[in-house]
Amino acid sequence: MRRSFIAGTGMYVPERVVTNHDLEQMMDTSDEWIRERSGIAERHFADAGIGPSDLAVRASRQAVENAGITLDDVDFLIFATLSPERYFPGSGVYLQRKLGIQGIGALDVRNQCTGFVYALSVADQFIKTEMYDTILVVGAEVHSAGLNFSTPGRDVAVLFGDGAGAVVLQPSPDPDRGILSTHLHADGDYAEELCVEAPTTLERPWLTKEMVEEGRIYPTMNGRQVFKHASTKFPQVIVESLEANHLSVEDLDMLIPHQANYRITQMVAKKLRLTEDQYMSNIHKYGNTTAASIPIALHEAVEEQRIEKNDLVSLAAFGSGFTWAAALLRW
Ligand code: ACO
């Protein structure tokens, strides 16, 4: 069976930079608290009128260019986001329209922080089974539209940023290089630990003035549960992917973890005994960009030449659901 490989990467973040000091003007927080608890110094926010598909257009064009192909070569696209511009249709069709590649299939993936790895896994199966030859896999978020920037929302609002990352997946020209395997997990027992309650089809009407006033339209997070499970599941799924390929942590050249929180990344690195040159961290610049964080960090790792041909690369994520996943690649 043929193997898929990442032929090109791209990223885009909106121009507007919002520092921790800017957030201090909106809520009772401090630069020191945010840096110490998350490692974040600043993030980028999109202006009103800009949706995730707009950010994704820029990232996608760059990924296509870096793959040395044209948009006409793309025969399927997968869009991972938790902040689509509309409840429906999904962001995939908006991206497709903006790229001018109408007619090809467009799939939306709703797996939050783990969305990009789930999307990559789906694309990998399509390439392996020869259903498609060139798939655009995108993660993009506009979190700034849906956060509570007053003090009651501070535990969540300070963590997230906007951005987009994209990769082009194609059949690998070398059977020894490309995606070795993907591993997907979820545990719905924890669905409410990190979620947005409203709008909800469980209530009539599904969105009310009271829901807005009570802040039920904003995400809520049990930070301690997230920390506890993330620092366990991240290492678990990375080791699972290595063992499935008869490899060990010592073989790993680069871990690109979902940029949830620098403290979580550090905990994972400590558990796996990784040195600083073995993992990517760019959360200080972008905050947590959920489905976009892995493709953005991957793009930067490639640009900074921190990944070289034949390196063993792990992409791993943990997020709302709870969901967690890993992809192991020979670059
Ligand atoms: N600024 C200042 N103070 C704040 C802020 C803020 N932005 N947010 C919360 N606080 C306050 C709380 O109100 C609380 O105050 P209180 O003690 O007076 O009630 C206090 O800080 C809580 O701080 P800690 O004692 O450090 O709380 P805890 O140990 O529970 O840590 C934290 C909270 C930092 C959220 C921790 O649970 C954590 O790091 N969790 C991981 C969450 C995360 O990073 N999620 C990433 C997004 S999800 C994903 O990508 C998987």
Is residue 113 part of the annotated active site? The answer reads yes
Assessment of whether the complete model's pTM goes beyond 0.85:
yes
Q: Is the peptide bond before 149 cis (omega within 30 degrees of 0)?
A: no
Q: What's the CA gap between 232 and 330, in Å, rounded?
A: 25
* Known catalytic residue at 246: no
Q: What's the 37 CA to ligand 1 centre distance in angstroms?
A: 7
Q: Which residues pair with 108 in a beta bridge?
A: 79
The C-alpha angle 53, 300, 85, rounded to 5 degrees, equals 15
Atom number, ligand 1, closest to the C-alpha of residue 258: 50
**Going residue by residue through the chain (331 aa), what tens digit of pLDDT does each one get?**
899 999 999 999 999 999 999 999 999 999 999 999 999 999 999 999 999 999 999 999 999 999 999 999 999 999 999 999 999 999 999 999 999 999 999 999 999 999 999 999 999 999 999 999 999 999 999 999 999 999 999 999 999 999 999 999 999 999 999 999 999 999 999 999 999 999 999 999 999 999 999 999 999 999 999 999 999 999 999 999 999 999 999 999 999 999 999 999 999 999 999 999 999 999 999 999 999 999 999 999 999 999 999 999 999 999 999 999 999 999 9
Task: Note whether 139 and 54 are within 8 A (CB).
Answer: no
Q: Is the CB of 224 under 6 A from ligand 1?
A: yes
Structure letter (DSSP) for residue 18: E
- If you write DSSP's letter for every residue of 119-140 in order, what string do you get? HHHHHHHHHHTTS-S-EEEEEE
- Active site includes 288? yes
One-letter amino acid for residue 93 of the chain = V
Going by C-alpha positions, the residue among 246, 262, 240, 264 that lies closest to residue 314 is: 240
Q: Which residues pair with 185 in a beta bridge?
A: 324
Give distance in angstroms: CA of 223 to centre of ligand 1.
6
Which of 227, 234, 258, 259 for a ligand 1 pocket mutation test, highest count of atoms within 8 Å of Cβ?
227
Pair 27, 149: CB distance under 8 Å = yes
3-state secondary structure of 52: helix
Q: Is the CB of 18 under 6 A from ligand 1?
A: no
| Run of H or E residues at 221 | strand 219-221
Which candidate, 66, 137, 73, 67, places its Cα nearest to that of 101? 73
Question: Is the Cβ atom of 231 under 6 angstroms away from ligand 1?
Answer: no
- Return the exposure string of 51-69: e unless at least 16 CB atoms fall within 10 Å of the residue's CB, then b: bbbbbbbbbbbbbbebbeb
CB 310 within 8 A of CB 165: no
